[in-house]
Amino acid sequence: MRAIKILERILYAIPIILGVAVVVFVFVRLTPGDPVDIMMGQGGAISSGEIEQLRAEFHLDEPITNQLWYFLRDAARGDLGYSYILKQPVTVIIADRLPATIELAAGALFLALLIAFPIGIISAVRQNSILDRLSMSFAFLGISMPGFWLGIVLILIFAVALRWLPVQGRLDPQITLQQITGFYVVDSIITANGPALWSSIRHLLLPSITLGAAVAAIVARVLRSSMLEVLRSDYVQLARAKGASESLVVVKHALRNALIPTVTVVGLQVGVLLGGNMIIETVFGWPGLGRLVVDAIFNRDFPLIQGAVMVYALTYILANLVVDVLYTYLNPRIAL
Amino acid sequence: MSVTSPTGAPAIAGRRQARLELWQRNARRFLAELGRQPIALLGGLVVLAFILAAVFAPYITAHDPELGSLRQRLIPPVWQQGGAAEFPLGTDGQGRDLLTRIIYGARISLLVGFLTVAISIIAGAGLGAVAGYYRGWLDTVLSRFADLLMAFPFLIFAIAMMAFIGPGFANLILALTFKGWVEFYRLVRGDIMSEKTREYVEAARALGRSHPTIIVAEILPNIVQSIFVVGTLRMGFFIVTEASLSFLGLGIQPPTPAWGSMVAAGRDVMLTHWWVATLPGLAIVLLVPALNIFGEGLRDILDPRLKVQ
């Protein structure tokens, strides 16, 4: 039964993915001028015969429905076009930058949960204590604070004033690291490269905190309120009445149930992590997908922007799908 | 036996009077409730201060927000050595008074926030009301389109749209509202669907009132509070998104003072002149939490049901 529900959910995602591709296609059509005009804008004189030839090559001389069909067909084959600025297929460029972005997002999520869980739990157990009020005030600030500003402030404090952490990049320039997976922390561990591990973690710290701050704040708030709700419920009172220790009540009974809404919120935060990464990668000079897109925008490299937006949207849909599936495992009573 | 027509002129005037009195009573109750929530009140006052500063900017500061002076570049804030009382928060890389630019920047932030929320509410609530009331194919089409837009993270969508249509104020509003209406659409659609089955709607229908009148005059007054609350809470989000876009160079373009682009410009000199990048951002860190605190206060007073959602 569960397998059918999961399959249903996957099937439901297909038209959404198709729709996303159409929206991205329409986006490109909103741009004044067609791709050949934009290529012309890069400089150099081209004969009108050559322009026509290029238009035919890009199918720009065909009806828009045909163009949409070619785009969807190529995207389904994993072909997201060709960047005429970087002179490489878009998928190759994205694949090259993706590990840096995933490493940063993973670092941010890890730190966010590491901060949010103890804060959320303690705030609920010690409701209205100074600790609760203080951490919830910070959480409130964390939600409202723009990432680019927090990043700059953290750089000024920890990199410039205290000189504890590096300003930008992924690795100290004097350190060499054999790249296997593209995840520097993982590669350092695989190759048993201690200095590279230390350096990559140090570089990862500030951008991860900046990117994860808003997520930590939201997760802590949701965990706290759902813990409070569960702690007041009858079965927790019953567990207490039966003489279960308070820590057992909190961890086994309350936390497990409070996890259900929390997991949904964590899933939704993937959108925040994805959107935020363009900003944070720009602030910290992090060579990932986000910075690539921002550069591509200013280079008017539309195939690359189009491909990257597709990847972002697909990741978001996939993350939500994973959350939905996880949701049923946490709470079997709820159908997908 | 004579029956007073419910549509007669005196009856309408009487109903108007009653409605006015109800509004006045509610407003008084609301202000009294707000007085009991000092933190929300404080948030509201901070927002009010920003609005007043934005409106009366030319009367608060004598400096020009866009005109710089090469001789007065990068003067530190008044409390630092080398600071000048003429420039309380110092000057930027082009010798413009930072406080002046922050005050004028409030105009952009508040205007973008307000316009985006207003247009999103008009579009989202309008479509949501029609979809929720009439249902049918229009509801299906609109709801699927809303689902589709939800498949994009907000900032990615806005960045992509700005990348393709180009920067500028009007495009910025367009990019933010293009997805911004969805939340109001869902809220109003859901509310209308549940209100539609209530007795007062049945009664209005029995009295022969038209569907548009029922939506606007009967149902809308009952759900306007939740729209207002969500609108206030979304405004802070839109302001941060605008600042983020302007920070990336995709929103408001220099020399127009916008907080996001001011932080971006300050980044180039942040290692030596910290104030240029940090102080404009501080304005966001003051305004947006204040808006959110005020919004949460409003929610607790006007529509506690939303808290659960």
Q: For residue A245, what pLDDT band results from cuts at 50, 70 and 90?
A: confident
DSSP label at A39?
H
Residue written as token pair 């300050």: B266
Helical ranges in chain B per DSSP H? 9-35, 38-55, 57-60, 98-134, 136-150, 154-165, 169-195, 199-206, 211-213, 220-247, 259-267, 274-302, 305-308
Is the predicted pLDDT of residue A1 greater than 80, yes or no?
A: no
pLDDT at B285 exceeding the cut of 60: yes
Rounded-to-integer distance, Cα B89 and Cα B97, Å: 7
Let me know if residue A163 belongs to a domain.
yes
CB contact (8 A) between residue A148 and residue B244: yes
Q: Does B33 fall in a domain?
A: no
Residue A46 counted as domain residue? no
Torsion from C-alpha of A109, A112, A114, A119, nearest 10 degrees: -150
Q: What integer pLDDT is reported at residue A316 of this predicted model? A: 87
A92 in any annotated domain: no
**Residue B35 binned pLDDT confidence (cut-offs 50, 70, 90):** confident
Among partner residues A144, A152, A275, which is closest to B267 by beta-carbon distance? A152
Q: Is residue A306 part of a domain?
A: no
Residue B25 lies inside a defined structural domain of this protein: no
Q: What is the domain count for chain B?
A: 1
Residue A294 and residue B248 in contact, taking contact as beta carbons nearer than 8 Å: yes
Q: Is residue B227 part of a domain?
A: yes
Domain that holds residue B290: 38-306
Residue A274: inside a domain, yes or no? yes
Taking Cα atoms as reference points, which of A128, A110, A107, A131 lies closest to residue A119? A131
The answer as to whether B18 is a domain residue is: no
Averaged pLDDT for residues A49-60: 79
Structural domain contains residue A319: no
Question: Residue holding tokens 């809303």?
Answer: B146
pLDDT, tens only, B84-132:
889 999 999 999 999 999 999 999 999 999 999 999 999 999 999 999 9
- CB contacts of A272 in chain B (<8 Å) are 153
Which positions in chain B touch A282 (Cβ < 8 Å)? Answer: 247-248
What CATH number did the domain enclosing B271 receive? 1.10.3720.10
Average pLDDT taken over every residue of chain B = 89
Residue B62, class by beta-carbon neighbours within 10 Å (0-12 exposed, 13-18 middle, 19+ buried)? exposed
Kindly determine whether residue A305 and residue B164, on different chains, have CB atoms separated by under 8 Å.
yes
Within a domain: residue B278?
A: yes
The string of pLDDT tens digits covering residues B206-259 is 998 999 999 988 898 888 888 988 898 899 999 999 999 999 999 999 889 999
Structural domain includes residue A61: no
Helix, strand, coil shares of chain A, percent, nearest 5, are 75, 0, 25
Using a CB-CB cut-off of 8 Å, the residues of chain A touching B260 are 146, 148
Domain count, chain A: 1
User: For position A226, which CATH number holds?
Assistant: 1.10.3720.10
